[in-house]
Amino acid sequence: DAGVTQSPTHLIKTRGQQVTLRCSPISGHKSVSWYQQVLGQGPQFIFQYYEKEERGRGNFPDRFSARQFPNYSSELNVNALLLGDSALYLCASSRAWGANTEAFFGQGTRLTVV
Amino acid sequence: EDQVTQSPEALRLQEGESSSLNCSYTVSGLRGLFWYRQDPGKGPEFLFTLYSAGEEKEKERLKATLTKKESFLHITAPKPEDSATYLCAVQAANTGNQFYFGTGTSLTVIP
C-alpha cells in the first residue's frame, strides 16, 4: 500500500498570495489531519477531518481553511500569506477518528513565503 | 494547559554508547503516547504507541517505556543511522486524535 502522499513537495509564494496543499491518505483511512512545523519545533495541529466533516481545529487564524473530499483526500488552503507561514506542512492519515488511533505522516510540503 | 516537554534538546553519542531520551507530559486524561523519528526535511516516521503506565515496546535498538508522567526512549548500542530527531506526541481525553507534540530531541551518533 502507498503511504500518505502530499503535493507539491516544495512551494515558493509571495506575501499576500494564496496557496493550496493536497494530501491523499493511506488506502482505507478515513481521517486526515494537518500540522504546521516551523524549523526547530514540533508539529502544531491545524485541522482534523473525518468522513468529510471537520472534527477539530487548532489555534490558527481564519486565513487557514481545509476540506475533505468523498475519496478522503484533503486540501489545506492558506490565504493572504505572511512570512511567518513559511514552514513544513504535514498531513497525517488515520484509520478512524478518536483516541487510541495511530497517525501516519506524509513527507510534507515545504512552503516558503518571500 | 497541556504540555509536552522533551529532554535533552540535543544529544551526541559515540557509536555503541547507550542512552535515554525523555518525554514528560501534563495532559488531562492521557489516551496515548506516540514516538516518531524525523529525518531532516522529511515527515515523522511512526515508531511506537504506548497506552498505559507500565507498558513497554521494543523495535531493534529502541525501547519505549511509559509511566504516569513521562516516557523514555532507550537507545541501545546506537549506530550512525539512528541519527535523527525523535519526537514525542500525546493524545488527551477530550481532543479526538489531535496530537500535542514536544519539540524533539536531536540525536547524533558519531562513528
pLDDT in tens, A34-70: 999 999 999 999 999 999 999 989 999 999 999 999 9
| Burial degree of B23 (CB within 10 A; 0-12, 13-18, 19+) | buried
| B contact residues 66-85, partner A, Cβ 8 Å cutoff | none
The span from the CA of A8 to the CA of A92, in Å, is: 15
Q: What's the grid cell of residue A39?
A: 524549523
Q: Would you state the pLDDT for residue B4?
A: 93
Which one, of A7, A4, A1, A3, lies nearest residue A110 by Cα?
A: A7
CA atoms of B5 and B26, how far apart (whole Å): 9
Find chain A residues with C-beta within 8 A of B98's C-beta. 33, 45, 48, 56, 58
Give the distance from residue B97's alpha carbon to the nearest chain A alpha carbon, in angstroms. 5
At B92, is the pLDDT very low, low, confident or very high (cuts 50, 70, 90)?
confident
* pLDDT of amino acid B89: 95
pLDDT surpassing 90 at residue B55: yes
Is B52 a residue whose pLDDT tops 70? yes
CB spacing of A102 vs B96 below 8 angstroms: no
Question: Is residue B75 within 8 Å of B17, Cβ to Cβ?
Answer: no
Q: Does B52 touch chain A (CB under 8 A)?
A: no
Q: Do B102 and A42 touch (CB under 8 A)?
A: yes
DSSP one-letter code for B68 = S
Q: What is the pLDDT of residue B29?
A: 82
In whole angstroms, give the CA distance from residue A66 to residue A33. 10
Q: Are B101 and A43 inside 8 Å of each other by CB? A: yes
Residue B2 has pLDDT above 80, yes or no: no
Q: What's residue B48's pLDDT?
A: 94
Q: Which of A42, A44, A99 sits opposite B32 (nearest CB)?
A: A99
What distance in Å separates the CA atoms of residue B92 and residue A8, rounded to the nearest whole number?
32
Chain B contacts in chain A segment 46-75 (CB below 8 A) = 48, 55-56, 58
Buried b (16+ CB within 10 A) or exposed e, A83-97: eebbbbbbbbbbeeb
> Is the pLDDT score of A104 beyond 80?
yes
What does the mean pLDDT of chain A come to?
A: 94
- Minimum-distance CB partner of A56 among B4, B95, B102: B95
Look at residue A25 in the predicted model and tell me its pLDDT. Answer: 96
Answer whether B21's CB lies under 8 Å from B10's CB.
Answer: no
User: Measured between CB atoms, does A7 come within 8 Å of chain B?
Assistant: no
Check residues B62 and A98 and name the one with the higher pLDDT: B62
Interface size between A and B, measured as CB pairs under 8 A = 75
- pLDDT score for A97: 76
A41 vs chain B: nearest CA distance in angstroms?
A: 5
Average pLDDT value for chain B: 93
